[in-house]
C-alpha cells in the first residue's frame, strides 16, 4: 500500500488522498494481486460510459461539448479542475523559468508540467517527496502533470543503452551512470506526487526506419503494462502514450494495444520530433480518433499557436511546450498579428504595447521600446515579461478556443485567428 499518506502533504491533499486510499483499500486493492490491471477493462469496453472508478482513476474527465472533432471538457484532479482544451506551461526544474507561481497562475495557467528526468537528477525525487511533494516544494497548489523522463533520456542523456528492461544512461550534469525502468519512472513520479503521471515510452525520431518505429512501439506497450502494474499512488492518474510516428498503421496498432489497459488518459508521443509541421497536421485527425472519446487526449511537446488550433480541431485536449517560455527568454513574442522580435532595432523608440488589447501585465504596463531596452541591456525582467506575455497568449488562445467550441463556432474562430497570423 502507498507510502504516500505518511509524507507531509498539505492538509487538503492529505484529506483527498485519505478518501481515495480508503476506497482503494476496501474495494479495489484486493483485485490488484489477483488480476492484471488491463483484465478488468476489456478491449471492447463502451467508452461512452463514465470512467469506472478503478484504482488509478482518481481523475474525472467530463466532456462538455464537441464542435466537429474539437472538444471542450474538464479534468478533475485532487488539486483542482482543468478546463480543456488547455496548454500546460513547462516547469522543468520545479519552476516555470523566470516566473513566480503567482505570475503563472495570474495568466490563467490551470496545470503545469514537471520533468521527471531533471527532477530525479536534481534535487532528487525522494528529497521532494520528503519535503511534501512537488506541489508543496514549488508552491504550486494546482494540478501538475509529470512526464516519464523517457524523452529527456533520448534527447539529453549521454551514452544511453536501451533494452526491454529499461534505459541505462549517463547524467548530462555529472556523468553519473543511471537507470530508468518503467517501474523507476512510476516510483519517481509517485514520489513527486503529480496529479497526472506519464508511462515510460521510447520516442524515436521522425526519420527512424519502420523496424525501429515498430520496435519502439512494442517496447512502449510492454513498458506501459509494467507502469500500469507498478502504479499505486491513490490520487495520481496515469496516462499511456501512443507511438508510431507518421505511420498510421503503427499508430492504430499502438492504440489498440494500450486502450484495453484502460488508462485514465491517452497521449500522442512522437510528434514534433523532426517531421514537418504539415506532416503532423495531416496525421493528427486520424491519430486523435484512435483514442477513447471519453478520456483526455494529450499531444506531447506541441507547439506553435497554429499547431495547437489544428490539434484542437483534430480532437486534442491537452498540450505542453517550452516554446512560449523559451521564446520569451529569447525576445520572441507571440501576438495576434504574428511573432514579434523585440531585439529588432525598429522597436527602439516604439511607445506601443507589445500587443494592443492583450490584458497581461507586460502589455498593460510597458512599451515595446522598454522591452527592447531590457533585452538590449540583458536585464532579467525582459525574459520574465515576455515569458509572462507568451504564456498569457497561449492560455488565452485555449480559453477562447474552448468558448468557441461551446458556442459551436470553432471553425470561424480558427479562421479569424489564423488570418491574423499570416
* Residues in touch with a copy of itself (CB under 8 A): 8, 93-95, 97-102, 118, 122-123, 127, 130-132, 137-139, 348-349, 351, 361, 365-367, 369-370, 372-374, 376-377, 379-381, 383-385
DSSP state of 360: S
Give 4 or 319: the residue with its C-beta nearer to a copy of itself.
Answer: 4
Cα 353 from chain centre? 31
Give 123 or 260: the residue with its C-beta nearer to a copy of itself.
Answer: 123
Task: Please report how close the Cβ of residue 131 comes to a copy of itself at its closest, in angstroms.
Answer: 5
Buried b (16+ CB within 10 A) or exposed e, 32-47: beeeebbeebeeeeee
- Rounded Cα distance, 166 and 62, in Å: 35
130 as an active site residue: the answer is: no
Task: Please report how close the Cβ of residue 384 comes to a copy of itself at its closest, in angstroms.
Answer: 7
Give 371 or 401: the residue with its C-beta nearer to a copy of itself.
Answer: 371
Asked if omega into 123 is within 30° of 0 (cis), the reply is: yes
Give 8 or 274: the residue with its C-beta nearer to a copy of itself.
Answer: 8
174 as an active site residue: the answer is: no
Task: Give me the phi and psi of 285, to 5 degrees please.
Answer: -55, -45
Instruction: Enter the C-alpha cell of residue 165.
Output: 528492461
Sign of CA dihedral 98, 103, 109, 112: positive
Q: Give the SS3 label for residue 116.
A: helix
Give 61 or 140: the residue with its C-beta nearer to a copy of itself.
Answer: 140
Which residue in 147, 187, 262, 317 is the catalytic one?
Answer: 147
Task: Please report how close the Cβ of residue 261 comes to a copy of itself at its closest, in angstroms.
Answer: 35
Query: Would you state the torsion angle of the CA atoms of residues 192, 194, 196, 202, taken in this order, to the nearest 10 degrees?
Result: -20
Give 183 or 361: the residue with its C-beta nearer to a copy of itself.
Answer: 361
Instruction: Enter the C-alpha cell of residue 85.
Output: 482544451
Number of neighbours of residue 149 by Cβ within 10 angstroms: 27
Task: Please report how close the Cβ of residue 343 comes to a copy of itself at its closest, in angstroms.
Answer: 13
Q: Nearest to residue 274, comparing CAs of 254, 301, 248, 298? A: 301
Task: Please report how close the Cβ of residue 160 comes to a copy of itself at its closest, in angstroms.
Answer: 22
Which residue in 125, 262, 317, 320 is the catalytic one?
Answer: 320
Task: Please report how close the Cβ of residue 118 comes to a copy of itself at its closest, in angstroms.
Answer: 8
Start-to-end Cα distance in the chain = 55
**Catalytic center residues:** 147, 320
Amino acid at each position: 500500500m502507498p507510502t504516500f499518506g505518511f509524507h507531509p502533504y498539505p492538509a487538503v491533499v492529505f484529506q483527498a488522498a485519505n478518501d481515495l486510499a480508503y476506497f482503494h483499500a476496501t474495494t479495489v486493492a484486493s483485485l490488484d494481486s489477483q488480476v492484471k490491471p488491463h483484465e478488468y477493462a476489456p478491449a471492447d469496453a463502451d467508452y461512452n460510459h463514465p470512467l469506472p472508478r478503478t484504482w488509478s482513476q482518481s481523475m474525472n474527465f467530463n466532456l462538455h461539448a464537441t464542435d466537429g472533432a474539437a472538444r471542450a471538457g474538464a479534468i478533475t484532479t485532487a488539486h483542482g479542475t482543468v478546463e480543456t482544451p488547455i496548454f500546460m506551461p513547462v516547469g522543468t526544474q520545479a519552476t516555470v523559468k523566470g516566473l513566480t507561481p503567482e505570475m503563472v497562475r495570474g495568466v490563467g495557467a490551470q496545470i503545469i508540467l514537471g520533468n521527471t528526468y531533471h527532477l530525479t537528477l536534481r534535487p532528487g525525487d525522494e528529497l521532494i517527496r520528503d519535503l511534501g511533494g512537488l506541489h508543496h516544494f514549488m508552491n504550486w497548489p494546482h494540478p501538475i502533470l509529470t512526464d516519464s523522463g523517457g524523452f529527456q533520456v533520448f534527447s539529453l542523456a549521454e551514452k544511453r543503452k536501451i533494452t526491454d528492461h529499461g534505459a541505462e544512461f549517463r547524467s548530462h550534469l555529472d556523468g553519473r551512470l543511471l537507470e530508468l525502468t518503467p517501474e523507476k519512472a512510476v516510483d519517481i513520479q509517485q514520489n513527486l506526487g503529480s496529479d497526472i503521471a506519464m508511462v515510460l515510452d521510447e520516442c524515436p525520431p521522425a526519420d527512424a526506419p519502420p523496424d525501429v518505429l515498430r520496435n519502439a512501439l512494442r517496447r512502449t506497450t510492454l513498458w506501459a503494462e509494467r507502469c500500469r502494474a507498478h502504479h499505486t499512488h491513490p490520487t495520481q492518474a496515469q496516462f499511456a502514450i501512443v507511438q508510431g510516428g507518421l505511420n498510421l498503421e503503427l499508430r492504430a496498432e499502438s492504440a489498440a494495444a494500450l486502450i484495453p489497459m484502460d488508462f485514465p488518459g491517452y497521449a500522442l508521443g512522437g510528434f514534433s520530433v523532426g517531421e514537418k509541421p504539415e506532416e503532423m497536421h495531416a496525421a493528427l485527425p486520424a491519430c486523435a480518433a484512435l483514442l477513447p472519446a471519453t478520456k483526455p487526449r494529450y499531444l506531447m511537446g506541441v507547439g506553435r499557436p497554429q499547431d495547437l488550433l489544428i490539434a484542437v480541431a483534430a480532437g486534442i485536449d491537452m498540450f505542453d511546450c517550452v516554446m512560449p517560455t523559451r521564446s520569451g527568454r529569447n525576445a520572441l513574442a507571440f501576438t495576434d498579428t504574428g511573432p514579434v522580435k523585440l531585439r529588432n532595432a525598429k522597436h527602439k523608440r516604439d511607445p506601443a504595447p507589445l500587443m494592443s488589447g492583450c490584458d497581461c501585465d507586460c502589455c498593460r504596463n510597458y512599451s515595446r521600446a522598454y522591452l527592447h531596452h531590457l533585452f538590449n541591456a540583458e536585464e532579467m525582467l525582459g525574459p520574465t515579461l515576455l515569458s509572462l506575455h507568451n504564456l498569457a497568449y497561449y492560455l488565452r488562445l485555449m480559453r477562447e478556443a474552448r468558448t468557441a467550441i461551446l458556442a459551436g463556432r470553432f471553425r470561424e474562430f480558427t479562421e479569424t485567428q489564423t488570418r491574423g497570423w499570416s
